[in-house]
């Protein structure tokens, strides 16, 4: 990110400011279509012209505004037809026509709403580890990128912790994969209970987890790491699982170029612990 690139907060502010303008423009467009209907008379049908604004309002503003746009579209058409009611063979024809159109518009609104929910669910599943129900690697890079941009802007330190389960393979070999899955879920539950809601936890591999400690300097990060390790070991002892934990911890006072670089330092520290006998914490503070 260069100095001229918009920050996450700036992008969010632009999006928030843009929504009222988009809403106003679409409502005006719907009213304009009704006015054209009035000018051209009942010989020309403009039903399809209402669909784009209805779809846009439903997609960007939700079900309520979708229904509102369907109702507004129907009313503008009805008002135009009522002003031309003498051109119909029966005065009730406009009411029947607009009732049918309103049902069609509502059908479109509910289809778009349902489709958007399906896409959101698919996106959520793509960003989630299916076993532990926490962020996966892809989600972590997205979420951590936002937090690191914020740290770059405000000058806050942050810390990255890589936690690896020592000798996890023997759990699967001795007790089976179901027990191995239970162990991983227990690890995640323990970590969750002892980090803050603003911190980011993700599963990177079979038995490797990454935690981004937001706005956390070296002293607080070291305390969290020690506390987590003790709690994790206690949980393993309670279940009689013969595993320990190797933890690499990197605290940053200056932000690296990208998220991957922030993880590499903590990952190297974790592997140093592995090489030196496992079941320990290695911490580095990076200021330049």
Q: pLDDT digits over 252-263, tens only?
A: 988 887 888 889
Confidence of residue 10 (pLDDT cuts 50, 70, 90): very low
Q: Of the residues 103, 126, 149, which one is the last residue of a structural domain?
A: 126
Q: Quote the pLDDT of residue 44.
A: 65
Between 186 and 255, name the one with better pLDDT. 186
- Of 178, 166, 185, 174, nearest to 248 by C-alpha is 166
Q: Of the residues 94, 126, 158, which one is the last residue of a structural domain?
A: 126
Distance CA 175, CA 240 (A): 11
Q: What are the tens digits of pLDDT across the range 72-113?
A: 988 888 887 777 766 666 777 777 878 888 999 999 999 999
How many domains is the chain partitioned into structurally?
2
Chain-centre distance for alpha carbon 55: 23
**Is there a single domain that holds both residue 78 and residue 180?**
no
Q: Quote the pLDDT of residue 8.
A: 45
Dig out the tokens for 244 from the structure: 């320990």
Residues carrying an active site annotation: 207
Q: Please give the average per-residue pLDDT across 211-223, as a whole number.
A: 94
Q: What are the tens digits of pLDDT across the range 229-284?
A: 999 999 999 999 999 999 999 999 888 878 888 899 999 999 999 999 999 999 99
**Is there a single domain that holds both residue 118 and residue 27?**
yes
Residue 112 in any domain: the answer is yes
């Amino acid at each position: 990110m260069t100095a001229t690139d918009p920050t996450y907060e700036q992008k969010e502010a632009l999006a928030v400011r843009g929504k009222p303008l988009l809403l106003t423009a679409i409502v005006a467009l719907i009213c304009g279509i009704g006015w054209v209907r009035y000018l051209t008379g009942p010989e020309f049908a403009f039903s399809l012209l209402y669909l784009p604004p209805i779809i846009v309002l439903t997609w960007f503003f939700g079900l309520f505004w979708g229904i509102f746009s369907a109702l507004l579209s129907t009313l503008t058409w009805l008002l135009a037809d009522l002003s031309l009611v003498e051109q119909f063979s029966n005065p009730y024809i406009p009411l029947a026509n607009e009732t049918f159109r309103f049902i069609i518009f509502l059908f479109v609104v509910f289809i778009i709403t349902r489709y958007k929910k399906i896409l959101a669910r698919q996106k959520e599943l793509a960003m989630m580890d299916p076993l532990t129900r926490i962020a996966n690697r892809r989600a972590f890079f997205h979420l951590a990128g936002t937090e690191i941009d914020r740290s770059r802007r405000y000058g806050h330190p942050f810390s990255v912790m890589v936690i690896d389960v020592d000798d996890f393979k023997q759990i699967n070999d001795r007790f089976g994969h179901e027990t191995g899955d239970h162990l991983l879920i227990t690890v995640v539950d323990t970590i969750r209970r002892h980090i803050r809601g603003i911190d980011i936890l993700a599963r990177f591999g079979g038995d490797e987890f990454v935690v981004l400690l937001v706005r956390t300097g070296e002293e607080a990060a070291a305390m969290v790491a020690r506390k987590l390790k003790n709690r994790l070991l206690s949980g393993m002892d309670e279940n009689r699982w013969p595993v320990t934990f190797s933890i690499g911890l990197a605290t940053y006072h200056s932000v690296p170029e990208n998220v991957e670089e922030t993880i590499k330092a903590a990952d190297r520290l974790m592997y140093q612990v592995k090489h030196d006998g496992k079941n320990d914490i290695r911490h580095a503070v990076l200021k330049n």
